[in-house]
């Protein structure tokens, strides 16, 4: 049995991931703590550091969070790009970089 942190546990993909983790000790985390063990914002380095510090030992992380804006290339504003990059890209990178 491994200790697995599941980020995005309240989402559609998070709930699906949970069904495959039955053999493990699962620690759930989400942006709103609603029903989750911990609150985390994957776009915030500080929030990720706090999560890993509070959880302590773990064996694996399953992340199902990745927000992106949908618009044509011409219509995407800088703010929309930043939302997308900070969640879909830097969120994933920082989970591994800080989590390790």
Ligand X SMILES: NC(=O)c1ccc[n+]([C@@H]2O[C@H](COP(=O)([O-])OP(=O)(O)OC[C@H]3O[C@@H](n4cnc5c(N)ncnc54)[C@H](OP(=O)(O)O)[C@@H]3O)[C@@H](O)[C@H]2O)c1
The binding site for ligand X (CB under 6 A) comprises: 8, 10-14, 30-32, 40-43, 64-67, 87
CA atoms of 19 and 100, how far apart (whole Å): 25
Considering beta carbons, is residue 11 or 99 the nearer one to ligand X?
11
- Structure-token pair, residue 77: 């504003």
For 12-56, the DSSP string reads HHHHHHHHT-TTSEEEEEESS-TTSSEE--TT-HHHHHHHHHHH-
Query: Which residue has the closest beta carbon to ligand X?
Result: 11
Residue 16 C-beta: closest distance to ligand X, Å? 8
- Structure-token pair, residue 99: 């989590």
Considering beta carbons, is residue 3 or 44 the nearer one to ligand X?
44
Residue 63 C-beta: closest distance to ligand X, Å? 9
Residue 88 C-beta: closest distance to ligand X, Å? 7
């Amino acid at each position: 049995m491994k200790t697995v942190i599941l980020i995005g546990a309240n989402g559609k993909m998070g709930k699906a991931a949970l069904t495959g983790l039955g053999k493990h000790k699962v620690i759930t985390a989400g942006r709103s703590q609603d029903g989750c063990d911990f609150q985390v914002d994957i776009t915030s380095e500080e929030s990720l550091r706090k999560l890993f510090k509070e959880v302590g030992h773990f064996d694996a992380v399953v992340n199902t969070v990745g927000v992106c804006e949908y618009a044509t290339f011409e219509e995407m504003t800088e703010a929309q790009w930043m939302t997308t990059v900070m969640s879909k890209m830097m969120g994933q990178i920082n989970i591994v970089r800080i989590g390790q």
